[in-house]
Structure 1
Amino acid sequence: MNNQLIDFNQCQLDNWYWYQDSFTEEELLRIEQIQESISFEKAKIAIDTACLETKRKSSIKWLKKDSPDCKWLYDKFIGLVTQANDAMWKFELTEIIDDLQYTVYEDNGGHFGWHMDLGSGKYAKRKVSITMQLSDPEEYEGGDFEFMIGNEVSKLPRKKGCVIVFPSYFMHRVTPVRKGTRKSLVLWISGQPFK
């Protein structure tokens, strides 16, 4: 339980945080080397699997949190999330339930329609979502990562290595990739469900 006094007038529950250059080229290369030995699987959605292809089309791998090769990566993400959370939302964050997801969207219509990362069951505990861009913007067309906040749709930065941190209740999507391949890493930090 967090006993510090929080000035909730300082919380920005409808805003997001990003880091432009938080990973070096060597670290990005290290991520690619880690994922090479892991098999791809078809991405799924938690509900309504009958419409999977229209909702989501991508391939994923899981970079396990108990892997010694990945410890530095989890530590780095935890540091970035802690900084963003302290500055913006003041959520009580307690654990990482899911492993890091390495996601590939290809030019065969790869996309992920509008959704929230917050949901039922174990997904009810998700509080903060993190996504990191692993592709150079010139390597693909389409594949925009977008938020819908209120009625406003915002395209987010595409720079390779940039990290975007946001509340898991944000509506977001990846638009269809028209050319090339878009790669990203995704992680969720959890806590007690919102009340």
Structure 2
Amino acid sequence: MMLHIPGVLGPERLQAIQAHLQQADWEDGLATVGALGATVKRNRQLPRQSPLAQALAHEIAQTVRSNPQFVSFALPLHILPPLFNRYEGGENYGLHVDGSIRQLPDGSAMRTDVSSTLFLSDPDSYEGGELVVVDTYGTHEVKLPAGDMIVYPATSLHQVLPVTRGARLASFFWTQSLIRDDMRRGMLYELDQTIQRLLTQLGSTEDTVALTNHYHNLLRQWAQT
């Protein structure tokens, strides 16, 4: 299951981040990839230890943690500090799968259940650069407005097509969810969204309270903390 979350970043913050990234020093993306990924990865990344990368990563992590759609969909337990990449001049990232385990800043390990890409460039400013995600339902090409985010299971094969004009800037990160299984996570998301719609339409009733009770009992049954 994939989710498009519009307007994660407002215009003011988006413009400020874009301005910072346009002036940033970038390194070869091969600096942060394993041997298998090195055969298909051609891009640049913001050095993760740079003050700019750390400041922007903190801001974006705080922003997504307070986004109701992201929280409902991903049910985050741990969020790896967001990273930043840049594609231009034919750069691309061939078909690959993300590593299953990542290291948090404190040295502990986290499981990558959910992948997220936050688009930071206006889609009209570059050609190509679509994120292509392959899952059990088919192949999906994603190219979103700046400030929008796509969230999808980290188990999915995916690639970034060559950027043939302009530059594609994005932030990307992984989340360990309270719910390891994608199907269960999707069920809880759909149930939560149904409850929210009913609360808006009907207010708090015996039925909405009962559904909320079922949601939390399922979360209690399935969650891993």
TM-score, normalised with respect to structure 2: 0.64
- The corresponding residue for 2:97 is 116
- The corresponding residue for 1:78 is 65
Which of 167, 183, 189 aligns to 2:153? It is 167
- The corresponding residue for 1:94 is 77
After superposition, what is the alpha-carbon deviation per residue over 1:77-98, rounded to whole angstroms, capped at 9, x for unaligned? 1233x633524x6x5x32233x
What is the root-mean-square deviation of aligned Cα atoms in Å?
2.8
Would you say 1:47 and 2:30 are equivalent positions? no
Residue pair 1:124, 1:193 contacting (<8 A) in 2 also: no
1-side partners of 2:178 and 2:43: how far apart? 30
Task: Name the aligned partner's letter for residue 158 of structure 1.
Answer: L
1:1-195 correspondence runs (5 A): 15-35=1-21, 38-44=24-30, 46-48=33-35, 52=38, 54-61=39-46, 62=48, 63-64=53-54, 67=55, 71-80=58-67, 83-87=69-73, 93-97=76-80, 99-107=81-89, 109-120=90-101, 122=103, 125-150=111-136, 152-190=138-176, 194=180
2-side partners of 1:189 and 1:144: how far apart? 22
Distance 1:20 1:86, change over 3 A: closer
TM-score, normalised with respect to structure 1: 0.73
Q: Which has the larger radius of gyration?
A: 2
Structure with greater helix share of residues? 2
Overall identity of the aligned pairs, in %: 21
Which structure exhibits the higher relative contact order, with contacts defined as CA atoms closer than 8 Å and separated by 6 or more residues? Answer: 1
After superposition, what is the alpha-carbon deviation per residue over 1:149-185, rounded to whole angstroms, capped at 9, x for unaligned? 1372111132122111112112111011122211111
Q: How many residues align?
A: 170
Residue pair 1:130, 1:165 contacting (<8 A) in 2 also: yes
